[in-house]
Amino acid sequence: MNQLKCLPQEEIVWGLDVLKAAAASMGNYGIRRPITFTVAFLDALNREHLQPAIGDSVGTFTDLPPHVPDFAVHDGLRACIGAHAESIIALGGGSVLDAAKAVSHLHFQQTGRYLPIAAIPTTLSGSEFSHYFGVTETDGPRKFKRSHAVRETTPRLVVLDPRMLVDTPRTLLLSSAIKGIDHAVEGMRRVEVDHPHAILAARGVERFLAVLEKWPRKLETRAAIAGGLVSTDDLLQLQLAAWQCYFYPASVIYGLSHRIGHILGGTFGVPHSLTSCIALAPVIRACAGTYGRKLEIFSTDRGSRMPAAFLADRIEAAVHALQLPSRLGDLDFDRARLPELSALLRQNYPAEVGDLGDNAGTKLDALLESLW
């Protein structure tokens, strides 16, 4: 059965320097008495661009470690209740957005009311468009990042302002773009090429790669803009690409690259966006039989090669050209922990592992070894 599920998102605004006007109208979306969730390295951005535009702010909460550990969610909830916050503004990347959603959900469980969220992303993974969030559970024998999907936590307002990306560290910004591409590709698992996800995702991937494939080496974004090598419009194109790749998140079910990333991040502490740089292209090749010809929608060379190979090669080339890590060994990941990673994947995500086809367990071990 074909289906399209839409999320309760009220408005998305985009353009250079739109934040000030958008912030002034946040009350129209239920963003009143907001507490701002962000991280320490975005403090200057928050103080310069966001806080002056909010008339009724009740404070800022920055104690948000990567991978959203459960204790940080509880700390965030206490901060909201202590400040009598009625909403959350999430300024940051996927972990900040996930924390805001988790706190909103926990607030509902305790008070019967969700805290509405306005999202101002500083990365390109696309969490601002979804109802998904992950929380790393820390009270068991090992840490584990648990996925949740709660429609009511979808950010009501999203502000895409390329000014917010200018000082995002290069590796974080560019690797989050690969995570955005991951959403587009793995979103094809259960849909066909005439599904709106497929149509928009294909445009989003091409939009991403058109900018990434010309990105200068080594330079941080601000320096690249100052040198005329990229522009704020390029940054906006990346933001729009992230949106197109993740336009209908409630309508798709993601796959093995995502699940590898969740465990690498939550359990082993690998930076979340980097996991797609390492896993996506190899997973596309390994799961080519499951996707079949559907991945042709991402190919500019249709018919002359296997579509999975073409797409994987192009993603891998972009990762290499951007000088992003492409192997777990690049991140000092302990090779001896690969069997533990394999066991967690089989235990928690058997359907996604099943995308590898016959003898999936053996193929999984070989795939993980190739990632190292």
Establish if 2 belongs to a structural domain.
Answer: no
Beta strands 132-137 and 144-149, pairing class = antiparallel
What would you measure as the largest C-alpha separation in the chain, in angstroms? 61
pLDDT at 318: 97
pLDDT at 14: 98
pTM to 2 decimals?
0.95
239 and 346 share a domain? yes
Q: Total structural domains in the chain?
A: 2
Q: Tell me, what CATH number does 55's domain have?
A: 3.40.50.1970
189 and 237 share a domain? yes
Question: pLDDT of 55-108, one tens digit each?
Answer: 899 999 999 999 999 999 999 999 999 999 999 999 999 999 999 999 999 999
150 and 198 share a domain? no
Residues 6+ apart with CB under 8 A from 281: 312, 313, 315, 316, 319
Residue 187 corresponds to which amino acid?
G
Domain final residue pick, 165, 194, 219: 165
Domain region containing 283: 170-371
Domain final residue pick, 107, 140, 165: 165
Question: pLDDT of 224-279, one tens digit each?
Answer: 999 999 999 999 999 999 999 999 999 999 999 999 999 999 999 998 889 999 99
Distances (CA, A) of 97 to 4, 124, 178: 24, 12, 18
pLDDT at 271: 86
pLDDT at 284: 97
Contact 262, 169 (CB under 8 A): no
Establish if 32 belongs to a structural domain.
Answer: yes
131 and 28 share a domain? yes
pLDDT at 301: 66
Q: Tell me, what CATH number does 251's domain have?
A: 1.20.1090.10
Give every residue of the chain whose pLDDT is below 70, as ranges: 1, 301-305
Q: How far apart are the first and last CA of the chain?
A: 39
Domain final residue pick, 105, 131, 165: 165
**What is the helix (H) or strand (E) element at residue 362, kind and residue range?**
helix 360-371
pLDDT at 304: 56
Residues 206, 294, 188, 256: is their CA dihedral positive or negative? Answer: negative
